[in-house]
Amino acid sequence: MPEHHSDRTPEHHLDLTPEHRLDRRLFLRAGAATGAALAVGTSVGAQPAAAAPGGFPDYTYVRTLLTASQLKYNPTGEIIFPCVRGVYDKLSSPLGRYHLYYAPHDAPGGICLAYGNSLAGPFTEYPSNPIVADKWSPHYSVSHVSSPHVLWNQDAKEFWLYFHGENTTTRLARSADGIHFTYDKVVLSTSMLPAGTTETSYARVFRHDLPSRGARYVMVFMLNNTTDHRDIHWGWSADGRNWSYDQQPLIRHGDVGAVNVGGPHLLHRDNSTYVVYNKDKGSGGDIMITEVGNDFGKRNHLGVFYNSRSAAPENGRAAAPAFGTDGGVPYMIYEAGERLAGAIAVARG
C-alpha cells in the first residue's frame, strides 16, 4: 500500500496509507460529520507514546464504532476483522463516503457492511446484512464465512472481496457497487501450502508490484498447522485471481515472542514495505510491525506498532488493523477487546 509510488491507484493515497502530517482543522471538520451512529463512545485524551517504528504515525484510541449488541444482524454476539474503503470517488451515488466491512466469526458468520461519511464515525449498519452468507448455491455451503477484505481493483474497475469459509479456504467475489457480489472462485486453501497446514485464513490483498515474480498483487494471511501455532504467510499474483504462495512463513510466531500471530496488513512508507499484525492476548495483545522490503526479502522485526491498552474496549488486545486517511488525517480501524468478545474501534494518528 505504497504512499509515494506513482503506479498506485488513488485508493492507496486516499484510503489506505497513513500520512506524515496532521491537519487539525480538517480533522475537526471531518469529526463533525453527521449521521445515525450505531455505537460511538467518547474520545480519550491520552497522549500518544513515542514515535511508531518505521516513521509511521502514532495512533491513539478515539472511540468505538461498532458493537455487536447494537447491530440488527447479530447472530453470535461478536464481530471481527474490519476493512474500510473509500467509495466516494468510485460510485456515482454511494451510501456514504466510506464502506466499512466486518463479520461475525462464529457460525453462521456473514459478511456485513456499514457506511459513513468520516473514518472517525459514525457508521450506519446496512439494513440487508449479511451481503454474503454461509450458503451460496451452487458454489458452497459452509458453517461460516468471515474476515472480509475488499480491494478496489483498478484494472477491472470492481470491488473484489476476499473472505474465508471454512478456515481452510479463502474465496473471491466481485462487485460493481461494493454491495451486491458475484461469486468468482477459491483463491487459497490449505492444499496449496505444506502438509500439516490446518488453516489458511484472514487474508488481505494489496496492489504491489513484484517485477521479479511477474506479480502485481500481494496477499498476506494467517496459517495454522498441526503444531497449533499461527504464523504470517504470503503469496503473489499477476491478476489477483491466480496465486503462488511461499511455502515458508513470512513472519514466524517465535521470532516475535508470540504463541500466535495474525491479522496481517501491508503498509508502505519511505520506499519500503512493512507488515503490521497482531499477537495473541497471552503474548501481549499488541499490534506489531516487521519490515519486509519492497521485494519481501527483509525480516526486520521492529517491535510494537500499537500498544494495546488495559482499559475498555481494548482490555489488553488490539488486532486486525485496517488503515485510511480522511482529510489528511490518518486513522486505524481495528478489533478492540477479547477475541470473539470485542468491538470495532478507531484510533487516529
pLDDT at 347 over 80: yes
- Identify the bridge partners of residue 77 per DSSP, sorted by sequence position: none
pLDDT at 23 over 80: no
Sign of the dihedral through C-alpha 51, 56, 62, 63: negative
273-317 pLDDT, tens digit each: 999 999 999 999 999 999 999 999 999 999 999 999 999 999 999
Contacts of 71 (CB under 8 A, 6+ apart): 38, 79, 112, 125, 129
Q: What is the pLDDT of residue 290?
A: 98
Cβ distance 250 to 292 under 8 Å?
yes
Cβ distance 32 to 310 under 8 Å?
no
248-275 pLDDT, tens digit each: 999 999 999 999 999 999 999 999 999 9
Q: What is the pLDDT of residue 40?
A: 29
Q: What is the pLDDT of residue 20?
A: 32
68-111 pLDDT, tens digit each: 999 999 999 999 999 999 999 999 999 999 999 999 999 999 99
135-164 pLDDT, tens digit each: 999 999 999 999 999 999 999 999 999 999
Instruction: State pTM to two decimals.
Output: 0.87
| Distance between CA atoms of residues 119 and 12, nearest Å | 15
Cβ distance 199 to 190 under 8 Å?
yes
Q: What is the pLDDT of residue 100?
A: 98
Q: How large is the average pLDDT for residues 128-140? A: 98
Q: How confident is the model at residue 341 (pLDDT cuts 50, 70, 90)?
A: confident
* Nearest CA among 286, 265, 275 for reference residue 336: 286
Q: How confident is the model at residue 15 (pLDDT cuts 50, 70, 90)?
A: very low
Q: How confident is the model at residue 51 (pLDDT cuts 50, 70, 90)?
A: confident
Task: Pull the grid cell for residue 56.
Answer: 509511521
Contacts of 228 (CB under 8 A, 6+ apart): none
Task: Pull the grid cell for residue 344.
Answer: 470495532
| Distance between CA atoms of residues 320 and 91, nearest Å | 27
Sheet arrangement for strand 169-175: 146-153, 158-164, 169-175, 182-189
Q: What is the pLDDT of residue 46?
A: 38
